[in-house]
Structure 1
Amino acid sequence: MSGVTVSLTDSIDPALQSAISDGLGSYNAEMGGARDRKPLTIAIKSPDGAPLGGLVGRTSMGLLFIDLFYLPKELRRSGLGSRILTMAEDEARARGCGAGVLYTVSFQAPDFYKRHGWQVLGEVAPRDGSTRIFLTKTF
C-alpha cells in the first residue's frame, strides 16, 4: 500500500486501539458469526466504596478470559479469591462458555488455580526467570 507508515511506540493510542479492536471484531463476526465479546468484572470495595481489587476479564466465542485478578495481601487466604473465581466461572457458564483461559506468573498464583481445577496448557520462561504459566479449564 502506497503511503502507509508503520511505527512502534510504548504508549497506547485509544483511537488505534479502537481501530484494531473494531476491525478484529468485524472480521471475527464475518468469519465466525455474531460478535459476543462481553466484559466480566468482579469488584472488591472497602466499606467506604474505594476499589481494593477484584477480577477483570471477558467472555468471547465460548471462552472465559481472565485478564487480571488481584487481592490485597490482607484479603488473601480468606476464601475470597475462591469465591471470586467461582463467580467468574459461574457467570461464564451462564453466558454459554465451555472453557476458560488465563495466565499467571510463577511467583503469583499457579497453585491457587490448579486447586480449582485449572490445568497447565503451557509455560514460557523468559530470561528474567519468572515463568509465565498458561492455564485452561473446561466447564
Structure 2
Amino acid sequence: MSEQITHAPDRPTIVVTDSPSSRDVALISDGLDELNVEVAGLDDLRPLAVLAKDPETGKVVGGLTGRTSLGLLFIDLFYLPPALRGSGLGSEILRQAEQEARERGCRTAVLYTISFQAPGFYLKHDWYVFGEVPCDPPGTSRVFMTKDLS
C-alpha cells in the first residue's frame, strides 16, 4: 500500500498508510492513555505476558500477551506451537494470566479470536461469546468473548 495523502486548508494533512512509525503509534496510544486517566482518574494500564520458554535454551516458544486497564484484562495474542497444544500448557498459561489480572484488580476479561482458532478452548474455561462479526474467508467470523473474573 502506498501512502494516500489528503490535505484541506487550515487542517492537518491526513495520511493513510500500512507502515506507521513506532513513534506515530506511541503518540496516538499515549494520547488515548492520557485521556483515559483524565476522565477515569485511574492510571493503571500495565502490559501482561505469560510466556512459555524452552527449558534448555530459555527461548520463548509461545504464550499470551495482553494488558490490564480500568478493571479489565485484555488478551491480545495467545499462541502455542502445535506440538504443545493439548498438553494442558495453554490452560495453565490462561489460568496464570487470569490470576494475575485478579491480583491487579480486574473484574472482567475480554478477547477476540477467529472461529477457526480457539473459541472452543475459551468456552471450556468459562468464557462466553458476546458477539460475532463475519470476516474472510467466507463462513469465518471474529468471535468476541468475555469472562467474569470475580
Normalised by the length of structure 2, the TM-score is: 0.89
Alignment partner of 1:31 out of 39, 46, 51: 39
- CA deviations 1:14-39 (Å, max 9, x no partner) are 11111101111111111111221000
Q: Which residue identity lines up with residue 86 of structure 1 in the other structure?
A: R
Structure 2 vs 1, CA of residues 127 and 73 (structure 1 numbering), >3 Å: closer, same or farther? Answer: closer
How much does 1:45 deviate? 1.3
Alignment partner of 1:41 out of 42, 49, 63: 49
After TM superposition, the structure 1 = structure 2 runs for residues 13-32 of structure 1, keeping only pairs within 5 Å, are 13-32=21-40
Q: More strand per residue: 1 or 2? A: 2
Gaps of at least 5 residues in structure 1 are: none
Following the alignment from structure 1 to structure 2, what is the Cα–Cα distance between the partners of residues 108 and 126? 13
Alignment partner of 2:64 out of 40, 55, 71: 55
Q: Which residue identity lines up with residue 35 of structure 2 in the other structure?
A: Y
Alignment partner of 1:106 out of 115, 123, 130: 115
Corresponding position: 1:12 with 2:26: no
How much does 1:50 deviate? 1.7
Cα-Cα RMSD: 1.1
Bigger radius of gyration: 2
Aligned length: 139
Normalised by the length of structure 1, the TM-score is: 0.96
Per the alignment, residue 137 of structure 1 pairs with: 147
How much does 1:12 deviate? 2.6
Per the alignment, residue 3 of structure 2 pairs with: none
